[in-house]
A and B are shown apart, each in its own frame.
Chain A
Amino acid sequence: MEQPGSDTHLHNRSHAIFGDMSFFSKQMRIALRNCGTIDPDSIDDYLQARGYEALAKVLTEMTPPAVIDEIKKSGLRGRGGAGFPTGFKWELTAREQNEEKFIICNADEGDPGAFMDRSAIEGDPHTVIEGMLIAGYAVGAQQGIVYIRAEYPLAVQRLERAIVAARAEGFLGENILGSSFSFDIEIRLGAGAFVCGEETALMHSIEGFRGMPRPRPPFPSVQGLFGKPTVINNVETWANIPVIILDGAEWFGSIGTEKSKGTKVFALAGMINNTGLVEVPMGTTLRDMIYDIGGGIPNGKKFKAIQTGGPSGGCLSEQYLDTKIDYDSLAQAGSIMGSGGMIVIDEDSCMVNIAKFFLEFTQNESCGKCTPCREGTKRMLEILVRITEGKGEQGDIEKLERLGTTIKKASLCGLGQSAPNPVLSTIKNFRVEYEEHIHQKKCRSNFCDYLLTYTVTDKCVGCTLCRRVCPSAAVTGTPKLRHEIDQMKCIKCGLCFKSCKFSAITKTSH
């Protein structure tokens, strides 16, 4: 029987099929090794791809401490974004003396434009189950919970089917594979609050309370779900575990950079030719990501910035293109690794507006528990709105900076601590755009409506369409003659610009 790549290393599988595609040449698939190569609804397909062999290996020949040692040695760090060493996390829970412990899979993927977790679960649900099982064995837990967004119905369905199939085959339940280890997994649906991706808020939500974070310590590894020691990891982290067990910590540790091992999955989106789901070894540069894998910027436009880490991350300008993708390099450059959102921004986008967009998101999603986040982001957003409406004042940038740094320092959880990042990083890298908006009332990307002037050019044939669509009667003119826009009456809605069939209306910003 044909079994692509199943001979030596698990991770070779998808390359055996897609390896010669240019999109894949710089990629390396560990977490996504089965995505797109097996039928996710069939446990037979997963078994064929050496599924549950890692579980068998740990149950047969490894003691729990040996499993933890192996994960520690691999250098795997949490793929949810914060990058805490996974092995250490497990060890903290393993050390606790408690009859009841929990394993949680965080599949509450909330970043706008991110779909790594969804794709991973939809493509290969069993690997998450296997990863959780291995952790359960290593730390002495009997119950696993997958916390997943209700907005991912297909992922939930496939995971449910996978759990049922795994139970039927005896991979979940009592005395797994004839051993003394028992473990089961249940699914909890999240209602889509962004803050529930934060571990303590997520646990509150599972417990039936409102999804709000609490101060740490105590950390979940000591006092987590229902007050019990809990290991919580992200989907991608779980997907890496079986490969580390089978292919070895040493091999895993040979991939990546000094402090960031293995690969990272990214959802490449925005102004890029090859939008897609990408898994690259740590240490790949942003330039490789954008130009080699992503195929560059469409329509001959110029690259302006790359936003990593979703609403908690930052925007990096062209000078950072050679930054390596790993936890520390991205942090040093002023952004974060995050869970894997990567949005490419071209010259047509206004950086102030991008910052506003992300802050609007976090402001909406702020749970309201702590003042810095609840009030601070609100005030910051007000200033940003003012700036984009042409009402920016001297000192606004400094105010944003001061507020931003305070919010970062004083907020309770990761949401607030990172919410100002998009603003602070755009101020750092694109300060001149902020200054233009404030002092010259100019938006160089012609994006901020309030700073634009619409004018009719000689191309106008006098079709009267713009006059008819204008809601404020700012357009005047007689049929077949060039029309005019009264700037005093214009409300900058852009309807005339959009409706003109002759490209006779231009928008400019001073």
Chain B
Amino acid sequence: MTCLHAPSRRELLLASGALFAWTYLPRIARAEGRDPRFLTIILRGALDGLGAVAPVGDPGWIALRDDKALKLEGEHAALPLDSFFALNPAMPNFHRLYKAGQATVVHAAATPYRERSHFDGQDILESGLPKPGTAETGWLNRAFASIEPGGRVDARGREAFAVGPVTPLVVRGPAPVLSWTPPRLPPASDDTLMRLLDLYRHTDPALARALEERMGLAAIARAGGINQDPNNPAAKQAGVAQVRAYFAEATGSAAKFLGRPDGPRVGALAFDGWDTHANEGASDGRLAQLLGALDGAIAAIETEMGPAWRETVVAVVTEFGRTAHINGTEGTDHGTATVALLAGGALKGGRVIADWPGLKPSDLQDGRDLKPTTDLRAVLKGLLKDHLRVADDALANKVFPGSGAVRAAIGLVG
């Protein structure tokens, strides 16, 4: 019976697919009597930063987005952050943390990437390299490896941790990664379904019919077009609940692992679905639902991290932003600058950090996008340096190669 073998722990974890990475506790931090945790959440598809954190104090804001603009008054009133910015109302937990000095918004931020391809943008966001191309390792993993030369995993499993079905590029690399996947991956998103239906309707009506019927959408299709019509409310509610549950389960589990005394100290996970080309719904539609799920996920981290929340930083980042204007299908197209959302008990928070570029046509990048005024790498370097004690030269050369001119942001944690 030599053919039969029990899977090793590693095989089991890889097979079941999760994504945290854990590696050594940073030695310097430990010497200071700290035990820092760092989790990064990648939002794939490009988050509309203006829909998440609105510049309500900018005189051009209402004119820019018209009835799609988040406002401080009305049914879906945005939550004020300071005299200029307000948070999407779907994020009460993040707002509470902000008020408690445990959350920070960085606005008008972007990676060095200036084109608008998701794939390349995600590669740059996660690899930390200045240009697209085949990347095998991510900045978070390299940061770990640089903290502990060799990056070996010790026998008790005090490695770095990653959560998700495929280990995200950001945490792949020389330092060993353990991964864990929630057993219930989310079902295909409405967005994926709509894209597929659109393809079928143009190329294979029989498959379109089969899918529509199975999805309970036949009635809507007959009524005159999936694209214009909101989804079947019941199916939509179920989908939203599943997305919320998946986000909370994935992050909550990550936090449980990171919170353990013998657990990993660094984690990464990725959420898809932010590519809101049509019917974006910042205040009460799809984007609001996604942000609500993200807000719930942040709350789950806080809860599950327990006492370790005090020593935690969560960084939520996306590949690029979206157009400043609403497009012809009530959505936004690929853009440039956006927000980064930071949360955690280790932050010196309660601030929106922005060198605001303005919204006038002449202020916009290429006449269409929010102009980037903060290099996202400066933010990440600041966190890695002050929270995890990654050395300056490693940050400039290994973690974000060629970023010597980009100074690490100071005072983010404290």
Q: Does B bind A?
A: no
Q: Which residues of B contact A (CB under 8 A)?
A: none
Q: Which residues of A contact B (CB under 8 A)?
A: none
